[in-house]
């Protein structure tokens, strides 16, 4: 798999009773494919996988595979702070036929660097699907070192990293030391362009949930050498990106999608609706970008 371009970190739509809305999930996937999205990422942070059962997770993967029907890539989040659980989920999604697996660093346990490298390696050794490492210390309380990323980049089954530390110095160092065929994609919409300028190949994006065409155009403009267009889009949509993170993700993006009339439903506890003043501010930004017109 070539990890390049715009990948959406897709929300998981729910019915009002909290059950997964599979019909809406299919609609959202169609919206992404129409917008040019290169790949769908399900069961990530934005997909609220931490509040879903293993059975629900597998059903989401099955639904997404059926809806996509080979028209773009499907990446499934199969990470856990338990290596055995991550391996179990990875094997299950691998068997279902996903294009790649996204594995988050093992949160809460506070493993040392050797343990984290072994965690990813153990999974990659036992599945056929390529593995993408997910580094997001603001969420997990742990971070991969540059040396660990360098070591993981040499593994033939580990094809890239979703880099969401926000640390451009770290980004520069892994771009310098990692294997040349190891893909680095942004996990932060506000610095997609700087990461691509430092050697990144795209983004796993929250913004793409509401603006798939924009995210596709920005990443592909850069890949095609049109740096001015890529920069103009990154800067033009910066206020919207900031609005989508005024509370913890995915609270604002699901609220935005509901305000846009996409009817993606509620969040699962302990996540809940936005504070009223934040909802008002988000609505104002959506109106300014003409994503809401009433």
Name every residue whose Cβ is closer than 8 Å to that of residue 256 and which is 6 or more positions away in sequence: 209, 210, 243, 244, 282, 286, 291
Is 147 marked active-site? Answer: no
Cα separation of the two ends of the chain: 42
What's the mean pLDDT when you consider all of the chain? 97
The ranges assigned to domains in the chain are 5-226
* CB neighbour burial string for 269-287, b if at least 16 within 10 angstroms, e if fewer: eebeebeeebbeebbebbe
pLDDT in tens, 226-247: 999 999 999 999 999 999 999 9
For position 189, what pLDDT does the model report?
98
- Euclidean distance between CA atoms 142 and 138, whole angstroms: 8
Is domain 5-226 classified as CATH 3.40.630.30?
no
With a cut of 80, say whether residue 294 has pLDDT above it. Answer: no
If you average pLDDT over residues 46-54, what whole number do you get? 96
Q: Which of 24, 89, 93, 162 is catalytic?
A: 162
99-148 pLDDT, tens digit per residue, is 999 999 999 999 999 999 999 999 999 999 999 999 999 999 999 999 99
pLDDT (tens digit per residue) in 181-229: 999 999 999 999 999 999 999 999 999 999 999 999 999 999 999 999 9
- In this predicted structure, what is the pLDDT of residue 201? 97
- Determine how many CB atoms are found less than 10 A away from the CB of residue 1: 15
Q: What percent of the chain has pLDDT over 70?
A: 100
Q: 180 an active-site residue?
A: no
Query: Which residue among the candidates 7, 93, 134, 237 is catalytic per the annotation?
Result: 134
Which is nearest to 72 in space by CA: 48, 52, 110, 42?
42
Q: Which pLDDT tens digit goes with each residue over 59-99? A: 999 999 999 999 999 999 999 999 999 999 999 999 999 99
CA dist 5 and 15 (Å) reads 31
CB 183 within 8 A of CB 3: yes
> Residue 1: is its pLDDT beyond 90?
no
Residue 169: is its pLDDT beyond 90? yes
- The fraction of the chain above a pLDDT of 90, given in percent, is 97
What burial letters (b/e) apply to 192-203, b meaning 16+ CB within 10 Å? bbbbbebbbbbb
pLDDT of 273 over the 90 cut: yes
């Amino acid at each position: 798999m070539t990890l390049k371009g715009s990948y959406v970190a897709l929300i998981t739509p729910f019915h009002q009773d909290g059950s997964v809305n599979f019909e809406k999930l299919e609609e959202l996937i169609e919206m992404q494919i129409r917008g040019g999205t290169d790949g769908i990422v399900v069961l990530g942070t934005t997909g609220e996988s931490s509040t879903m059962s293993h059975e629900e997770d597998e059903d989401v993967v099955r639904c997404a595979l059926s809806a996509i029907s080979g028209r773009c890539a499907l990446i499934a989040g199969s990470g856990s702070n338990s290596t055995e659980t991550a391996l179990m989920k990875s094997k299950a999604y691998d068997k279902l036929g996903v294009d790649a697996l996204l594995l988050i660093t093992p949160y809460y346990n506070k493993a040392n660097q050797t343990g984290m490298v072994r965690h990813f390696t153990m999974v990659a050794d036992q599945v056929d699907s390529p593995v993408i490492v997910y580094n997001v210390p603001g969420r997990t309380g742990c971070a991969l070192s540059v040396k660990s990323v360098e070591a993981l980049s040499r593994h033939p089954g580990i094809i890239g990293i979703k880099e969401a530390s926000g640390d451009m110095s770290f980004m520069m160092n892994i771009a310098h030391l990692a294997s040349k065929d190891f893909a680095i994609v942004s996990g932060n919409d506000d610095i997609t362009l700087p990461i691509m300028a430092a050697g990144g190949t795209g983004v796993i994006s929250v913004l793409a949930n509401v603006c798939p065409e924009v995210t596709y155009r920005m990443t592909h403009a850069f890949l095609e050498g049109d740096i001015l267009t890529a920069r103009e889009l990154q800067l033009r949509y910066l206020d919207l990106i900031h609005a989508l993170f005024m509370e913890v993700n995915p609270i604002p993006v699901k609220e935005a999608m509901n305000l846009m009339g996409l009817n993606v439903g509620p969040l699962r506890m302990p996540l809940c609706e936005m504070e009223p003043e934040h909802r008002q501010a988000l609505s104002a930004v959506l109106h300014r970008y003409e994503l809401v017109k009433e």
